[in-house]
Amino acid sequence: MAIKTYRPITPSRRFYTNVDSSDITAKASVRSLLKKLPAHAGRNNNGRITSRHKQAGAKKLYRIIDFKRNKFDVPGVIATIEYDPYRNCRIALVNYADGDKRYILQPKGLQVGDSIASAASGLDIKAGNALLLKNIPIGTLVHNIELKPGKGGQMVRSAGGSAQIMGRDGKYVSLRLPSSEMRLVLGECMATIGVLGNEEYSNIVIAKAGRSRHMGIRPQTRGSAMNPIDHPHGGGEGKTNSGRNPVTPWGKPTKGAKTRHKKASDKLIITRRKSNPKR
């Protein structure tokens, strides 16, 4: 997959880039796997805005993805590679031998016509197969990892992502996550072999405001450009800093302030992620 550039027929088009879509083989074809989701635009279940600067964005249908991969010992064949508007990696439609059809996240290298399967153990270590973590060899790259057995994959689901199995410790398996965090996960949890595809997604340039609006991102105004009544950073004659550490519009520390509360799972984290892995 490559990054596409365009002729600069407008100022924004000069910098506009996109991921080549030649790998997509079909549009969404299984109606039973499509669902309309209501647009909450950053609101929680009480209707209050908890994530600001969000909107509905372009109309789209949700694809029901098989994160659990619990179709054990039934072989399947990849029928199509499709675009999913709700995620940055591609999805693959699997036709199983018993007639069932499901969408899965497409690992790098998985093509139409390839066969995949899910099982507790005994499968080949190839992209697309799903096994229990305790039965996957050390050093293997995996994605779509469960945190609780049977709940479905919750970790490493974005384009180009993968975690590496580093070792075993009793009933736990140690993983190195994309954030460089080292974590223990129960060996009874499922994971899928391989690295997720569409890894060039992180290199695209949005280039224009309209494209952000299609993605559901509203404009954001700097606090320092507001009046003191609207934001703690506001006010002052001319350009000025706020004279304090960065805070939210309600005065709570942000940009680096720790927000994580103590959890029972903290004991499973061996090494926390680095704040800036490049340094």
Residue 208 to residue 232: CA distance in whole angstroms: 30
Rounded percentage of the chain residues whose pLDDT exceeds 70: 98
Residue 276's pLDDT band, with cuts at 50, 70 and 90, is: low
Please list, in sequence order, all residues whose beta carbon lies within 8 angstroms of the beta carbon of residue 36, skipping any fewer than 6 positions away: 61, 62
Q: What is the pLDDT of residue 253?
A: 92
Give the C-alpha distances (Å, rounded to integers) separating 156 from 142, 177, 277. Answer: 8, 8, 18
Residue 242 has pLDDT above 90, yes or no: no
pTM above 0.75, yes or no: yes
pLDDT at res. 279: 43
pLDDT digits (tens, 9 = 90+) for 179-220: 999 999 999 999 999 999 999 999 999 999 999 999 999 999
Going along the chain from its start, the domains and CATH numbers come out as 20-39+57-202+260-271 (2.30.30.30)
Distance CA 45, CA 57 (A): 19
| pLDDT per residue as tens digits for the range 136-189 | 999 999 999 999 999 999 999 999 999 999 999 899 999 999 999 999 999 999
Backbone angles phi, psi at 186, to 5 degrees: -55, 135
How distant, in Å, are the alpha carbons of 70, 81, 168 from that of 129?
Answer: 11, 16, 20
Q: Which of 192, 170, 158, 197 is nearest to 268 (CA)?
A: 170
What beta strand segments (E) does the chain contain?
3-5, 17-19, 34-35, 62-63, 76-82, 91-96, 101-105, 115-116, 130-132, 141-143, 145-146, 153-155, 163-169, 172-176, 182-186, 190-193, 269-271
Residue 85 has pLDDT above 90, yes or no: yes
pLDDT tens for residues 15-30? 999 999 999 999 888 9
**232 band by pLDDT with thresholds 50, 70 and 90:** very high
